[in-house]
């Protein structure tokens, strides 16, 4: 499997976790979040959250080189 396809699959698996809530995986996620706290919301995501906590339609700037595998 190519790196990009595997990367894409991981995003999908973690997305499914948000629905299914596998206990084992949830425990590992909690451990990571306990180390990095609730500030683990991405800077990119914060761009779309208004003071009232609602998403806005602000366009994000692309950084295609940022997460190359």
d(Cα 34, Cα 56) in Å, to the nearest integer?
A: 28
Q: Does 32 bind other proteins (CB under 8 A)?
A: yes
Q: Does 24 bind other proteins (CB under 8 A)?
A: yes
d(Cα 21, Cα 14) in Å, to the nearest integer?
A: 10
For residues 48-67, which are near other proteins according to CB under 8 A? 48-49, 53-55, 57, 59-60, 63, 66-67
Number of helices (H), then strands (E), in the chain: 3, 0
What six digits make up the tokens of 5? 């396809």
Residues that bind other proteins (CB under 8 A): 1, 3, 5-22, 24-25, 28-29, 32, 35-36, 39-45, 48-49, 53-55, 57, 59-60, 63, 66-69
């Amino acid at each position: 499997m190519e790196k990009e396809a595997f990367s894409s699959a991981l995003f999908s698996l973690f997305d499914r976790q948000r629905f299914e809530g596998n206990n084992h995986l949830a425990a590992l996620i909690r451990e990571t979040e306990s180390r990095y706290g609730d500030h683990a919301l991405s800077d990119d995501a914060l761009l779309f959250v208004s003071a009232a906590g609602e998403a806005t339609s602000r366009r994000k700037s692309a950084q295609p080189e940022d997460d190359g595998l």
